[in-house]
Amino acid sequence: MSQPSGTEGRSELALVALGANVTSSFGTPAETLAAAIDRLRREGIVIRAISRFYATPCFPVGAGPDYVNAAISVQTTLDAADFLKVLHEVEAQFGRERVERWGQRTLDLDLIAFGQKIAPDVDTFEHWRALPADLQKMRAPDQLILPHPRVQDRAFVLVPLSDVAPDWRHPVLDRSVTEMLSYLDRDDIAQVRPFE
């Protein structure tokens, strides 16, 4: 896979959440995550930090086997849109099919944050952040929303992120990863367990 155009310019720190809950051609979910991180490296993405791997209950409950989740921080000179294309290309190489929202996945690579970028604007971000839970499963944005509008709600994202970027501050909520984690229910956090 060749790097998209636009690789010259200022380097940006990006945060990516990884997840898998079904076997891929690369192996178990944990083996798949490790292989995906290696693939990103071979595509020229500079990996700055890798979280521990975590076992987490499937979300939503009953949608499939439990997940293995992780997070990475990376340095890239790509813009956010081109970086997202790289993530989607790697997902496709690992057999990801976008059939069912929140369905079972061989590999999920979610762009959580791109420095302090807000995209496309605060109002659109706030629309998706405030979307009622019953509509979240039925609707997905047709454009890149940054930061990820659900990051502050999900222990399975924040716990791994706290390994790699505890001090990253949400540009809209003005809370660090550590602070956002402190607002979550203790039981939700306890369900995110180091993978053995």
6 part of a folded domain: no
CA atoms 93, 48, 161, 123: torsion sign: negative
What CATH number does residue 81 fall under? 3.30.70.560
Gap between the Cα atoms of 116 and 170, Å rounded: 7
Assess contact for 16 and 71: CB atoms under 8 A. Answer: yes
2 part of a folded domain: no
5 part of a folded domain: no
Q: Nearest-5° angle of CA 54, CA 60, CA 63?
A: 95
pLDDT for 82-133, tens place per residue?
999 999 999 999 886 654 544 577 899 999 999 999 999 999 999 999 888 7
pLDDT for 16-35, tens place per residue?
999 999 999 999 999 999 99
Token pair for 57: 């209950």
Closest CA to 161 of 40, 86, 67, 49: 49
* Cα separations in angstroms, 168 against 37, 163, 179: 21, 11, 10
pLDDT number for residue 105: 79
DSSP letters for 91-104: HHHTT----STT--
9 φψ region: left (φ > 0), alpha (ψ -120 to 50), beta (else): left
pLDDT number for residue 60: 64
Token pair for 101: 């929202």
pLDDT for 135-181, tens place per residue?
766 677 889 999 999 999 999 999 999 999 999 999 999 999 999 99
**Whole domain around residue 129: which residue ranges?**
12-194
4 part of a folded domain: no
Name the residue with higher pLDDT: 183 or 57: 183
149 part of a folded domain: yes
pLDDT number for residue 101: 45
pLDDT number for residue 103: 54
pLDDT number for residue 189: 96
98 part of a folded domain: yes
Residue 78: what are its φ and ψ, rounded to 5°? -70, 155
1 part of a folded domain: no
DSSP category for residue 173: T
Residue found under tokens 């891929």? 24
65 part of a folded domain: yes
Q: What is the mean pLDDT of the chain?
A: 88
Number of domains in the chain: 1
